[in-house]
Structure 1
Amino acid sequence: MVVIHMKKYLIAGLVIEFDYRYDQYFKNNIENYIYEGSREVDHTITVKYALELQKPTSKLHRIFSKSVSGLKAYMNYDENYRNIEIWIDEDTFTDAATAEYVYTGMIFLELAQRHGLLPLHGSAINYKGDVILFAAPSGTGKSTHARMWKHLFKDDVSWVNDDKPLLDVTSEGIFVYGAPFSGQYSSNTNDKKPLKAIVFLQQGITDNVQKLNEKEALKHLMTNTLRPTEEALWDQALNHFEQIIKEIPIYLLDASLSTSAVKSIKKAIYNE
């Protein structure tokens, strides 16, 4: 028997009605975002499965994946992305739970962009009420570096999001939301905190910290953001980048795998 978990969630200010089949990534995670208020639903995301997918008949669809034998995954949507169906041929995936998580997360991040939020590829921690965001390509060690902060500073550190934190760039300041799409582990908090600094990591041995100029900061921000598919969303992202660069210090850390890397960047951020 298939159990459908259709519930409302408040994620980064958006009310999402969503169902999922597999507990691997969502159980003991997305429940922290359950919404029981009266606000109208912004978007509904429904995941459906079939042993063989038929060609989409709707004009508004996007194919995610296909093989020689046919379609593996696609989505149907309406004009405002209010209602989204994600179809997955679970027989073609060795890990259908991961496929479900990846596709729903990808769509949620695109919806967040349409609501003015900026997803960055990184690990964001809450240190004494400040968000410090460590950004880098996969495999560079940003999660490892973030865990070293937790090791050193214990209860002063908690996760915001360990994969794609969402930046809310406003006239009152720049804030970071947690979300349940946070990588392999449930390393996220349903919270919104002010952004203190962005640290781009490169694997190294010196633990040298360099404060980036505007040109270098923009290059790193563009490299590590979720790339919008529409020109208007790119314009929005560029405006966000401009404000972030003006208001938030951005650093490059030549990070070793030791706690001295943490001490070096903490000293730079807090002028210690």
Structure 2
Amino acid sequence: MKLTENKEKYFQIAGLILCISYPEGFPMANYLFSFRPFYLGDNLTNWDIYVEVKLEKPNRKEQDYKLLSDISQVWGDRFQLEESEDNYITTIKTVKGEPWEMHSQKDFKKSMIYVGEMEDLQSNHLSWLLMVAFGQHGIFHKGILIHSSVILKDGLGFGFLGKSGTGKSTHSRMWLEHLKDTELLNDDNPMIRIMPDETVMIFGTPWSGKTACYKNKQAPLKALIRLEQAPENNWTEMHGKQALLQILPSCTGLRWNANLYNKMLDNIEEILAVTKIAYLKCLPNGEAARLNYERLID
């Protein structure tokens, strides 16, 4: 299914194959160092998500697109999401105002990224746009990219949720320091997938925020726990609608696209059926980590 004469690199992430096509001379390895553990090969034939990198300016008519959003938690006012009849355009700008644009099909199966400024080879513009494409199309493969810090213990995955600054990474560190045989899988954007045998797995990805934890590993998902800073530790199990509300804010899905959003909700319902969901008001200490683990394995 080769679409261009460009070079092609293939990566397997959460069991899905991402093909990145790019022109000769583009320093792909410099931009995507976090993808190295997921590298599958060059110039293969099968893929689930296809992204072409282009070193040219996009040609489009502004009046053909309507603005959906112009603010992002990551990019602030240097972000835009637009929609036309057939495509989405995701734009992020460098500090100097140079735009990087990704033009995607409505299901995000295929996208084209128009590269802006290339001076900072360690910038995460390309990686972030790839995450958007991968996270959205992954929904069609019963996957959800979720904002979470994930610990592996005893062969199981435990995901900690919460707003930025809540202490997800700190709580993971408490598990690592105070509980035996623990390992950090991902510290920002792992993927959960419902597999063909209906087991729910959580996967490491190339997107781990400020923590360099890019592991091509997976484990059955045992629990998702939303955290809240508090003067004392208090653990509560959640069910039904309350459980859904703990997970939904951390999931990546376009609320403007009814097809994507409804499929994401279907995925969440399947996850809820077999996964323990809890709410933990906690201090940043070992007692909170031990309390959380003991309640989750009861």
Offset at 1:178? 1.4
**What's the counterpart of residue 157 of structure 1?**
182
Decide whether aligned partners of structure 1 residues 81 and 215 sit closer, same or farther in structure 2, where only a CA change above 3 A counts. closer
SS in 2 for 1:8: strand
1:68-103 alpha-carbon deviations (Å, 9 max, x no partner): x98712123457645422113217x98871222222
Alignment match, 1:240: 267
Distance 2:267 2:137 in 1: 16
Q: Sequence identity, in percent? A: 24
Q: Does structure 1 residue 47 correspond to structure 2 residue 53?
A: yes
Q: Quick one: distance in 1 between partners of 2:188 and 2:266?
A: 23
CA deviations 1:87-141 (Å, max 9, x no partner) are 13217x9887122222222222112123221121111121110000111111111
Counterpart code for 2:248: M
Counterpart secondary structure, 1:186: coil
CA-to-aligned-CA distance 1:174-201 (integer Å, 9 cap, x gap): 1111111121233132122111111110
Q: Contact 1:22 / 1:97 at 8 angstroms: preserved in 2?
A: no
1:168 and 2:222 matched: no
Between 136-145 and 56-65, report the one with greater CA deviation: 56-65
Structure 1 unaligned spans of 5+: none
Q: Which residue of 2 aligns with 1:33?
A: 38
**Partner in structure 2 of residue 262 of structure 1:** 289
Q: Distance in 1 between matches of 2:7 and 2:36?
A: 10
Mapped partners of 1:164, 1:222: distance in 2? 14
Deviates more, 1:72-81 or 1:185-194: 72-81
- In structure 2, relative to structure 1, the CA distance for the partners of 1:76 and 1:268 (3 Å cut) is same
Deviation at 1:147, TM superposition (A): 1.8
Deviates more, 1:97-106 or 1:7-16: 97-106
- Structure 2 residue corresponding to 1:225, chosen from 229, 232, 251: 251
Alpha-carbon spacing, 1:83–1:215, altered in 2? closer, same or farther (3 Å): closer
Partners of 1:232 and 1:79 in 2: how far apart? 9
Shift of 1:46: 3.1
CA-atom RMSD, angstroms?
3.1
1:163-182 residue CA offsets vs partner (Å, 9 max, x unmatched): 12111124532111111112
Aligned residue for 2:3?
none
- How many residue pairs match? The answer is 262
Look up the SS of the partner of 1:103 in the other structure: helix
**AA paired with 2:290?**
K
Mapping for residues 1-272 of structure 1, pairs under 5 Å: 6-18=8-20, 21=27, 26-27=32-33, 29-36=34-41, 40-49=46-55, 53-56=57-60, 60=87, 62-65=89-92, 72-77=99-104, 81-90=108-117, 97-153=123-179, 156-170=181-195, 171-228=197-254, 229-271=256-298
Check the 8 A contact 1:24/1:97 in 2, yes or no.
Answer: no
Structure 1 position 151, deviation (Å): 1.8
Q: SS of the residue aligned with 2:124?
A: helix
Compared CA separation, residues 196 and 39, structure 1 to 2 (3 A): farther
Secondary structure of 1:44's aligned partner: strand
Structure 2 unpaired stretches of 5+: 1-5, 62-83
Classify the secondary structure of the residue corresponding to 1:62: strand
| Closer, same or farther: CA 42–54 of 1 in aligned 2, 3 Å | closer
- Name whichever of 35-44 and 207-216 sits farther off: 35-44
Deviates most, 57-66 or 114-123: 57-66
Q: 1:175 is matched by which residue type in structure 2?
A: M
TM-score, normalised via structure 2 length: 0.76
Contact in 2 for aligned 1:123/1:164 (Cα 8 Å): yes
Inter-partner Cα distance in structure 2 for 1:21 and 1:201: 39
Change beyond 3 A, Cα 1:258–1:247: same
1:196 maps to amino acid: K
